[in-house]
Amino acid sequence: MNGDIPGARRERIDCGGAMLSVQFLGPDDGEPVIMWHGFPEMGYSWRHQAAALAADGYRAIVPDLRGYGASDRPTGTAAYAFPQLVGDVVGLINALGHGYAHLAGHDWGGSLCWATSALMPDKVRTLMILNAPHPVASAECRQVPEQQQKSWYMLLFQFEGVAEEWLLKDGAANLSAFVFDTAAPGTFGDEERRVFTDALMREGAMTAALEYYRANIPPGNWLKPPPALPPVTVPTTIMWADADAYMTPLLLERSITKVEGPLEVVMLEGVSHWAQQEAPDLVTAAMRDHLARTR
């Protein structure tokens, strides 16, 4: 397995600043739903939801973020700063010929969707967030001791070379503990584990994944006031798994205050950070409800 979603067609799309590897399911004339993954995954993490939405007649679009999977892997920390990443989101929408898209994002993918919705609302039909705090809420909560304790890894990830070795040594034992072992038993089978770990073992892949933290959450940012973003006005659903090992409820509470448009919050009780793979039916149902409600 190489991260291909069964039944999907894969293309490399020029998004302006980078070529992204993108998988497509469903009819080309369906309403576009673009699903953005987070650290340390690939578009493959949305496989369950993409297949279900395609069966409903949506055009399910699943990119590997820059630096991940088969997408371009530019060198240099600056290539992973927020302006470039948001540029990829908008660039993909434009490259596919859509005036807008429904956006779904998890983890870092959610951060990009939050920012795009705030800065470029004309490009976003609706927003679906899965365990990803609003970037301003995330910055606010880095000043809160409870969240500081859960965010310890963000400082470790700043140490170039050290973080890569720590995560990948002994057959990626620490990466496995960080990801797979925090999900419910059975969430990641041996094949799924290989998909993600093999991708990150490729030359430069782990460094590219860590550049997201180095470019956007350097240590100095822990001492600065939060950035400013316009409020989110597009219809939004936040799906929040309450057994996330890395996020406190305060992140959800603060994120809610950044939305001025229609908002629905769906709690996924007892589910870990890796919600779309641990509880695929719950996440798919919430996405279907959101899309039906906002037609």
pLDDT tens figures, 24-50: 999 999 999 999 999 999 999 999 999
Top CATH class, 9-293: alpha beta
Token code pair at residue 61 = 């679009």
CB 291 within 8 A of CB 60: no
Q: What is the pLDDT of residues 209-247, one digit of tens each?
A: 999 999 999 999 988 888 899 999 999 999 999 999 999
For residue 267, give the H/E element and its range: strand 263-268
What is the value of pTM for the model shown?
A: 0.97
For residue 9, give the H/E element and its range: strand 9-14
DSSP state of 26: S
> Could you give the residue ranges of the DSSP H alpha helices within the chain?
47-55, 82-95, 108-119, 135-141, 145-150, 152-156, 162-178, 190-201, 205-216, 249-256, 275-278, 280-293
